[in-house]
Amino acid sequence: MRYAQGGGLTAERREFRERIRYQAGERFTRGEKTAVIAKDLRVRFIDALAATGTGTVIKPLCPVCGQRRRLSGTVDGRRVCTMCDEQARAVACEL
C-alpha cells in the first residue's frame, strides 16, 4: 500500500506517525542535530511499540548491565541505558 493511501496503517497509527514527524520537524527547525532527533525518536518509537503488548517487539538489553531498559545513552559507540551512561560519565570526587 502506498504512503498516500495510509501505508496500510490504522487511523490511530497514522496519527501517531504524523505526530512523530511533526515533532521531528519542530526540533529540526529549532536547530537540533538530526542525529540527536533520530536517536530520541527511535528510542521513543521502540518504547511505544513495546507498550502495545504485541510480544513481537521487545526492548533491547543494555550491553553493559544486561537489563531490559530504555537505551538512551552511548558508551564506546554502543547504545546503553541511562544508568550505565551516567556511570560511564561519572568523575571521582577530588577531596
- Give the pLDDT confidence of 35-55 residue by residue, as tens digits: 888 877 877 777 777 777 766
List the grid coordinates of 78. 554502543
More confident residue, 3 or 87: 87
Give the global pTM.
0.50
Three-class SS of residue 66? Answer: coil
> How far is CA 11 from each of CA 5, 43, 52, rounded to the nearest angstrom?
11, 22, 16
Q: Which three cell numbers stand for residue 38?
A: 533520530
Same domain, 30 and 46: yes
Pair (45, 87) in one structural domain: no
Please, which pLDDT band fits residue 57 given cuts at 50, 70 and 90? confident
Do 53 and 72 fall into the same domain? no
* Same domain, yes or no: 72 and 88: yes
Residue 55 grid coordinates: 510480544
Tell me: do 37 and 63 sit in the same domain: no
DSSP SS3 for 58: coil
Instruction: Give me the domain span that covers residue 94.
Output: 59-95
Q: How far apart are CA 37 and CA 15, in angstroms?
A: 19
Q: How many domains does the chain have?
A: 2
Cell of 41: 525518536
